[in-house]
Amino acid sequence: MISLARDIGVRTPFIYLVDHINAEIIMEFIDGLNARDFLNKSICFEIGKYASILHSNCIIHGDLTPSNFLVEKNLVAIDFGLSYHSTRVEDKAVDIRLLGEILSSLYPGKYHEFYQTFIDGYRSISDHQEVTKILRNVEKINSRRRYAEKEK
């Protein structure tokens, strides 16, 4: 999946070797810093663009968090261990909802700003109607939570 993501335009580490016998993967070393440690609006926008590119190509990251992005010259997506193929709007919405939950818990004071910037980045790549469907589904998922807050 990481190679597929790279092929569609998402910066990922290059995979040099996959050794099935020894269960080893040899990949490019990225000399970058973890995005979670200095998240800002620019990084959130780029994460949104990357998520949109993945989703437009039916790739669900499965663990879409700032911790799974490195910043060097460019943003680099990592850890595709939970990724899978899907065309389902629900699966794309779950990816986005997870990022929202992480932003809310790690950056409560900046949550709305960061999340909206992420969505702006996502919209900059994807079809408007598709984004609207996905975001409606995020709202549905949020309403199914056991202790969901009622919107005021």
Residues taking part in catalysis: 63
Question: Do you know the residue count of the chain?
Answer: 152
Q: Give 108's contacts (C-beta < 8 A, 6+ positions apart).
A: none
The residues, any chain, with a CB within 8 Å of residue 43's CB and separated by 6 or more, are: 35, 66, 69, 71, 75
Q: Residue 17 forms beta bridges with which residues?
A: 26
Helix (H) / strand (E) element for 105: namely: helix 89-106
